[in-house]
Amino acid sequence: MRYFVNLSYLGTPFHGWQCQPNAISVQEVLEEALTTILRSHVKVTGAGRTDTGVHARLMVAHFDAKIPLKTFDNLVYLLNQYLKSDVVILSIVPVIDTAHARFDATLRSYEYHIVSKKDPFTNGLAYFFREPLDIPLMNESAQLLMTFKDFESFSKSNTDVKTFLCDIKNASWRLNGDGCVFTITANRFLRNMVRAIVGTLLNVGIHKITIEELKNIIKSKERSKAGFSVPAHGLYLTDIQYPKNININNG
């Protein structure tokens, strides 16, 4: 039987989502928890890879297991008792056997949080950027992103992806207390893409580059021409969407 597990995590203690040698990952601790509780080796497949220090309000992963009904009814509770407080299981949902957490995802959303005043309660959870920002101009620039498909300029260098094409459905900035939040939704994202986009749009917001220069950066397909990559600790994976027919209860 295949299941989707919906979880949240604080990225600070982890070296990203994916298992790797000599470094703790979210995938590793989740597999360990499931294997221990179900008393059978469990492998999980995530909807994507978050980098070191990136947080997730919602990550989705799938796993295969034979779970007795009595155990399934208490599995979320048992996992949360086993896991440390930086990982929380939100729900576990039975899905059709062919459902895939990564390949069946239709949309993914991220937020990037910026604060303009130092605050101990946002330390490690938002990026402190003290220069004044032109939010209307940054929103105009964000709208421009949706007129392009190729985002190689914002991709991590030397990546092994086969295509740099992404379909951005929404991109916008909003004020949030003493700072602002960037929200972006697309069918897929390249490695480091959101952080590179935010860094480049910050350069627009401080009038370091113009919107016309932003257009030329995207057209150039050269990462070296785009802005800096903002720190990971301000980035949150916030939502992942799937077709309803993969959920057995909605089938």
CA–CA gap between residue 235 and residue 230 (Å, rounded): 9
> Beta partners for 127?
114
H-type helices in the chain, by residue range? 26-38, 69-82, 135-145, 193-205, 211-220
User: In 3D, which of 158, 6, 25 has the Cα closest to residue 91?
Assistant: 6
* Cα 126 to chain centroid, rounded: 15
Both tokens assigned to 165? 């094409």
Extract the runs of DSSP E, i.e. beta strands, from 134-249: 168-176, 179-186, 235-241
CA–CA gap between residue 14 and residue 27 (Å, rounded): 10
> Beta partners for 126?
123
CA–CA gap between residue 4 and residue 66 (Å, rounded): 14
Catalytic residue among 51, 73, 119, 167: 51
Q: Identify whether 134 is a catalytic site residue.
A: no
Look at strands 55-64 and 2-9 and give their pairing: antiparallel
Show which residues are catalytic.
51
